[in-house]
Amino acid sequence: MFKVKKEEVKYVVKSVRMTEDMITRIQELAGIHGVSFNNIVVQCIEYALDDMKNADSDS
């Protein structure tokens, strides 16, 4: 299950394109949990990558 964490780490700047709907949903989630937009995006990507690794090892 995805859980939002509050932590500080060093980042590299990258630019990505997202739909307006996705931006809105991420902003709402960030506001609810009191974290930054970027924090939510990074955690979602980490969650997806970890889930892919788990799915690969189940095969």
Please give the Cα distance from 16 to 49 (Å, whole number). 17
Model confidence band, residue 5 (pLDDT cutoffs 50, 70, 90): confident
CA dist list (Å): 38 to 24, 29, 33, 48, 55: 13, 11, 13, 15, 26
pLDDT for position 6: 75
pLDDT (tens digit per residue) in 8-52: 778 889 999 999 999 999 999 999 999 999 999 999 999 999 999
Task: Report yes or no on 52 lying in a domain.
Answer: yes
Task: Report yes or no on 24 lying in a domain.
Answer: yes
pLDDT for position 2: 78
- 54: domain range? 20-58
Model confidence band, residue 59 (pLDDT cutoffs 50, 70, 90): low
Task: Report yes or no on 50 lying in a domain.
Answer: yes
pLDDT at 56 over 90: no
